[in-house]
Structure 1
Amino acid sequence: MKKLKYISVTALSAMLVLAGCNGDFVNTQPLDQLSESTVWTDGALTDAFVTEIYAGFGNGGFDEQMLASLTDETIFTHPGRGITTITESRSNPADPGWINGTLSWANMYSRIRACNLALSKLEKPQFNDATLVERLKGEAKFLRAYYYHQLLRYYGGVPLVDRPFELGEADYLSERNTFEQCVNFIVKDCDEAATLLNGKSLAAGRATRASALALKSRVLIYAASDLYDVPTAKAKSTVLAAFSKPEILGYTSGSRAERWQKAKDAAKAVLDISGLGYQLALDKPASKDEGTTNYHNIAMSRNGGEKELILGRYFINAKQENGGRQGLFNGPNGYHNWAGNTPIQLMVDDYEMMDGTKFDWNKADHATKPYDNRDPRFYASILYDGSNWKPRTADVASKDPANQIQTGTYEVVSGGSKVPFFGLDTRKSSVEDWNGTYTGYYARKFIDPNPAIVDQNTWQQVPWPLFRYTEAVFNYAEAAIELGQDAEARTWLNKIRFRAGMPALTESGDALRQRLRNEKRIEMYLEEQRYHDARRWMIAPTTLGRKANGINVTGTLKAGKSVTLYKYDPTSYDYTYKVFEIDPGKENRAWLDKQYFLPIHRDEMNRNSKLVQNPGY
């Protein structure tokens, strides 16, 4: 010990001697950092700074927990993640429940500060490249607008900060701006970003003029919606009616018709951009197989489907990020996957029949064959009992040579007697029994069907769609309906339906409104639209508040049939399907109107005494 101490003192003495002999020693630059002056005088480094701000996108929506599991799309399989805190309306400022980093108050303001810093430095650029300066300013304005829109749609009006705070300021506290002020701020940033980015060539995954216009369209369709029109919201919710600062949550005055018109115009600006959209010029429905393929191409962003993507979060195998693990996160446990976010029966039931009629369990032909003749998008979105999937992994292949999803219980013959066989993709699977679906379904959308990408050791390269063209189509059609322009709305909605292989809509008025809402539910499944739509339409009590459910599938051998190795086979089995509610011990969904807005965390409230908490908390 003494020897070590002596060496240490000797080394320190030598350092001091060196420092005394060479004044440059104390000015040594760290090898892993750059000074602020260096960054802003170099165009490439400034570009890198702005590029890093995109990290606020996280994995997009491709985390292990998905926003879909806060809705009537899916249920999250694994316990203890804070999901049920929200779905059971137990959120509170001390424990708001699962909050993704892409909507976290602290994370969003951290990114907004970076945008403000970049914009302040780019006002008087210290490098000579006017085109680069314009592009970076455009990107920073778009990103600031995007992060503010994230805060707005989860929390309502928030403090608007448009400059980087400096050390030594007298006060860092800010009041929440009104909802209208926040909308105007975001729209202004979008307009300026669209102008600055016009004609600029950018790499995939970076903001463009189209991205800025798509964000503007989204924000303005929200601004016109029920939740953000205070008189409407008060009439529908006593919790919101009792709030003392309604201007924080929506418009207290002004013409709602004008807001719908602004939303329609903003959406049309996106629709008018050339080169975007996929298979939307059909004059009749595609075939069933074509409809499924079209939808799959959009989800994979391949084979022309990439034209749908206005802005995506991309993933590459060279950088193994969790966004490339959707197959692992959501795939069947019989493939050694984790079954994270599994579709619930409510979602499955809302896929129409091929002829455009509603699925109905009270109809015998529907109840006995619930997966026949459904909307072609169903087959590209949901893995259900008996559906074909990838080849099983080597250790499982002999148990299922047919490569079919098995989520039921079936009779097989063993030792001359009929015995129950639990499907390989159930929670009683002989492959893995701890991480199977509770609902009887798995997500197929966004999972690459490539047989080489099959288990937890492989990644996929499917981008997350932050904005796609069809969202703007829905925005345009929705605004048209609210303005009484039903024929125009039908024209655009039928473009989506024809691409999917579905017949034209013919309804008007509220019936057309309801068809649009279901159409968007189906088309935008898993894309983080439903959570916001159900809230802004104020239909959450009858949608998000419903109990989650699933399906029990039973296969009984027909008379004279003897099967020792199970596969889906209606010639050998009679199948029955029974809907059940998820056990309340797993998840007991309930809706309270406070959930229309998330609570501002107690820590943020303690940091800023000028903040007003959201209603119900």
Structure 2
Amino acid sequence: MKYMNKLTYIFPVVIVLFIAGACSDDFVNTQPLSEVPEEAVWKDPGLSQAFVTDIYNGLGNGGFDEQMLASLTDEAMFTHPGRGINTITEARSNPADIGWVNNTLNWPNMYARIRACNLAIQNLETPQFENTSQISASVLKGEALFMRAYFYHQLLRYYGGVPLVDRPYTLGEADYTIARNTFAECVDFIVNDCDQAAQLLDGKAMPSGRTSKAAALALKARILLYAASDLHDIATASANSSGIANFSNKDVLGYTSGTRVERWQKAKDAAKAVIDLGGGYELSLAAPVSATQGTANYANMSLSKNGGEKELIFARYFINAKDEGGAWVGRNNGPNGYHNWAGNTPIQNLVDDYEMMDGSSFDWENTAHASAPYTDRDPRFYATILFDGAPWKPRTADAAGKDPYNEIQTGQYQIVNGSGSVVSYFGLDTRQSSIEDWNGSRTGYYMKKFIDPDPAIVDQNTRQQIPWPFFRYTEAVLNYVEACIELGEEAEAIQWLNKIRFRAGMPAVADAGDALRQRYRNERRVELAYEEHRYHDARRWMIAPTTLGRKAGRINIIGTLKAGKDVKVYKYDPANYDYVYEPLDIDPGIENRAWLDKMYFLPIHRDEMNRNNKLVQNPGY
């Protein structure tokens, strides 16, 4: 008899030995108290639902782990080296040491979750229980199909084509090895699961945190967008990468036949299907909102508050009753001057890509820009990044006297000490701070997006309930815009792109051709910052050598007192100080980013290669 773990407390079993003659068969065959027979699970609606609910645990903390995917990109860097991130950012990945990936993403975990999905799908195909008012076998099957598609899409976008296992293996099978399926076969499999899930979930009101028809269609739209992209069109990819061009199993990386127009059309149609469901937040504007409102709109979406929660299609939620890693996003990423850990800090590369309020590009060669780099920028910048002089929460009691103004301090400034001498003072949020200097930012910036600004929340010791957005409505809009651009439907693309910009307080665009493509890509970059898109976008567009491989930048800030000014407690104030902003590269002793084309795909770990001799390794490894 097979057993399945309960989703309840595990009780200890005391084994008592009896004289053989005193034992009875009934006692010896007592069902284990820590397990449930597999056949019983699928006869009981509550147990079946509990099994499917457990599959969602494969999502982990969403993107809110202490180490975030943003730090593998030109969005951020991880402050504390030595945890495998540099292995990827410095292009040192290999089959023995892939480097850091989200704990839920590694190959064995993904396939363990896929097996659970297969068990659910198989057993719910012909339900063994009567539906209740709250539990439906078809809905549970729809959820399992979506989750299987989600796990496979994760594997596909990191590794390329993977073995498609659509049933649970059993003991005693003759062969457990299986070859990688082609990229096209994987896409078709995921799309089919999404279509089935959408049909089974159609019209069903799903609780927060569980999937839905909209989520299934959003996943379909995403994977079809990837399928149409440069990296997965083998002719295009081969022209841009000798490693791919010389690889003998190209069909596991992308399409070797068919037309890109057809693939872009499928991506466009899938994205439009999501848009047509309705939803989103403040996307019906005919003109830009004010800069202040643009920042507020973006913060509302990031924090899922004040109507911004309407953006969410599928999300990972956190509750204060559970001490989960994802609830510590503020502590993990906040400034050290607030006793936080400065984990995934924005780099200068991202900061520089926020446009000016008039829609022009920021330029360090422009003296007006260089002298006040945080003035008149895209309003989303102010909801995403904490920069020098930015207002933030009240300091904790031990630091309140040093900064009664509650502003981020990431520079070096002159102040006048008690003896009347001018001395240098390092800001509280630097690595020379008097507060937890080891947790100071190496870039001069801190993450603001996703961190609750409520002054009552002390990030150091307070959990937050900000949900992680796996899919939000604006992603589908951006997917639609991209497909329209690639199909030459520029007027339609501009119309929808401007809806996003108007909500943010940014002016309309009227670009054409490649200029429109580049404008869109930058728009997607800033709109979806820290949402686990940039790593995949830079690779699928094949711009990784000049983005992911570019040296990470930081800012050096010096504030010099103006003549006659007497400041004893520092406050950002251009009336008292002359500020100099110097963009620099991160010390290569900390991180020395590089790009090799093998990094377009992660290597399959050698343990998996040793277990399965039918696997083919990715190019460059």
Query: What TM-score do you get using the length of structure 2 for normalisation?
Result: 0.96
Within 5 A, what are the aligned runs for 1:470-509?
470-509=474-513
Alpha-carbon deviations, 1:363-402, whole Å to 9, x = none? Answer: 1111111100000000000000000000011111111110
Change (3 A) 1:19 1:344: farther
Letter of the 1:36 counterpart: E
Going from structure 1 to structure 2, the CA distance change for 1:13 and 1:512 (only over 3 Å counts) comes to closer
- Which residue in the other structure is 2:363 paired with? 360
Counterpart among 407, 411, 414 of residue 411 in structure 1: 414
Amino acid at match of 1:272: D
CA drift of 1:452 comes to: 2.0
Aligned: 1:318 with 2:325: no
CA distance in 2, matches of 1:45, 1:477: 43
The letter of the residue matching 1:90 is R
Which residue of the other structure, out of 370, 374, 380, is the alignment partner of 2:373?
Answer: 370
What is the aligned partner in structure 2 of residue 8 from structure 1?
A: none
The whole-number CA distance in structure 2 between the counterparts of 1:514 and 1:113 is 41
Q: State the secondary structure of the residue aligned to 1:325.
A: helix
In 1, distance between residues paired with 2:19 and 2:596? 70
Q: Tell me, yes or no, if structure 1 residue 107 matches structure 2 residue 101.
A: no
- Say if 1:103 and 1:154, in contact at 8 Å, map to a contact too: no
| Per-residue CA distance 1:28-86 (angstroms, 9 max, x = gap) | 33333212122111001000000000111110000010000100000110011000000
1:336 and 2:339 aligned: yes
* Partner SS state of residue 136, structure 2: helix
Q: 2:285 is matched with which residue? A: 282
Q: State the one-letter code of the partner of 1:340.
A: G
Corresponding residue number in structure 1 for 2:3: none
Q: CA 1:31–1:550 in structure 2 vs 1: closer, same or farther (change >3 Å)?
A: same
Is the 1:19–1:25 Cα contact (8 Å) retained in structure 2?
no
The Cα of 1:19 is off from its aligned counterpart by 7.9
Counterpart for residue 56 of structure 1:
58
The match for 2:100 is 98
Deviates most, 400-409 or 118-127: 118-127
Asked whether 1:565 is paired with 2:560, we answer: no
Larger mean Cα displacement after TM superposition, 256-265 or 32-41: 32-41
Give the alignment partner of residue 30 of structure 2, picking from 5, 16, 28. Answer: 28
TM-fit CA distance, 1:290: 0.5
Q: Which amino acid aligns with 2:541?
A: W
Is 453-462 or 324-333 further displaced after alignment? 453-462
| Contact persistence 1:214–1:467 (CA under 8 A) | yes
Amino acid at match of 1:165: Y
Where does residue 299 of structure 2 map in the other structure?
Answer: 296
Please give the alpha-carbon distance, in whole angstroms, between the structure 2 residues aligned to 1:532 and 1:14. 56
Q: Report the alpha carbon displacement of residue 14 of structure 1 after superposing the two structures with TM.
A: 7.1
Show structure 1 runs of 4+ deviating over 4 A: none
CA distance in 1, matches of 2:342, 2:443: 10
Aligned mate of 1:394, from 393, 397, 403: 397
- 1:451 positional shift: 1.4
In structure 2, what is the equivalent of residue 457 of structure 1?
Answer: 461
Question: Alignment length, in residue pairs?
Answer: 605
- Tell me, in whole angstroms, the C-alpha distance in 2 between the residues paired with 1:184 and 1:21: 57
- How many angstroms apart in 1 are the aligned matches of 2:244 and 2:179? 20
Structure-2 residue corresponding to 1:4: none
What's the CA shift string for 1:88-107, capped at 9, x where partnerless? Answer: 00000001110212321111
2:154 aligned counterpart, secondary structure: helix
Matched-pair contact (CA < 8 Å) for 1:157–1:248: yes
Query: 1:353–1:373: 8 Å Cα contact kept in structure 2?
Result: yes
The equivalent of 2:205 in structure 1 is: 201
CA positional deviation for 1:181: 0.3
1: CA distance between counterparts of 2:474 and 2:390? 27
Please give the secondary structure, in 1, of the residue aligned with 2:460.
Answer: coil
Residue 545 to residue 118, structure 1, CA distance change in 2 (3 Å): same
Matches within 5 A, 1:208-219: 208-219=212-223
Q: Does structure 1 conserve the Cα–Cα contact (< 8 Å) formed by 2:164 and 2:186?
A: yes
Alignment of 1:543-562 (within 5 A): 543-562=547-566
Counterpart selection for 1:182 from 176, 182, 186: 186
Shift in Å at residue 255 of structure 1? 1.1
> Shift in Å at residue 195 of structure 1?
0.1
Amino acid in structure 2 at the alignment position of 1:342: T
Q: Is contact 2:225–2:483 with CA below 8 Å preserved after alignment?
A: yes
Local SS of the residue matching 1:89: coil
Counterparts of 1:123-134 in structure 2 under 5 Å? 123-129=125-131, 132-134=136-138
Q: Given residue 133 of structure 1, which amino acid in structure 2 is its aligned partner?
A: A
Identity %: 69
Cα distance in 1, alignment partners of residues 116 and 387 from structure 2: 45
Q: Which amino acid in structure 2 is aligned with residue 241 of structure 1?
A: A
SS of residue paired to 1:616 = coil
Per the alignment, in what secondary structure is the counterpart of residue 470 of structure 1? helix
CA contact (8 A) 2:338 2:460 kept: no
2: distance between equivalents of 1:315 and 1:500?
A: 27
Letter of the 1:197 counterpart: L
Question: 1:17 deviation in Å?
Answer: 3.9
Gaps of 5+ in 2: 1-13
Matched residue, 1:381: 384
Counterpart secondary structure, 2:401: helix
Indicate yes or no: 2:122 matched with 1:120: yes
> Is the Cα contact below 8 Å between 1:71 and 1:531 reproduced in 2?
yes
Q: 8 Å contact 1:19–1:26 — kept in the other structure?
A: no
SS in 2 for 1:550: strand
CA contact (8 A) 2:328 2:459 kept: no
- Look up the equivalent residue of 1:522 and give its one-letter code: V
User: Which of 138, 145, 169 in structure 1 is aligned with 2:149?
Assistant: 145
1:434 match: secondary structure? helix
Corresponding residue for 2:595?
A: 591
Q: Deviation of residue 25 (structure 1)?
A: 2.0
Q: 2:195, 2:345 → 1: CA distance?
A: 39
Give secondary structure in 1 for the equivalent of 2:439: coil
Give the deviation of 1:201 after TM superposition.
1.7
- Deviations along 1:234-263, one digit per CA (max 9) or x if unpaired, are 001101100000001000000110000000
Q: Hey, what's the Cα distance between the residues in 1 that align with 2:386 and 2:300?
A: 17
Amino acid aligned to 1:323: G
Cα distance in 1 for partners of 2:276, 2:325 equals 35
After superposition, the C-alpha distances for 1:175-195 in whole angstroms (9 at most, x for unaligned) are 000000000000000000000
Q: Which amino acid aligns with 2:501?
A: R
Q: C-alpha separation between the residues in 2 aligned to 1:456 and 1:402?
A: 19
Aligned residue identity for 1:560: G
Give TM-score scaled by structure 1 length. Answer: 0.97
Report Cα offsets for 1:433-458 as digits up to 9, x if no partner.
11100000000000000112223211
1:601 equivalent in alignment to 2:605: yes
Distance 2:23 2:368 in 1: 92
Residue identity in the other structure for 2:248: S
- 2:464 corresponds to 1:467: no
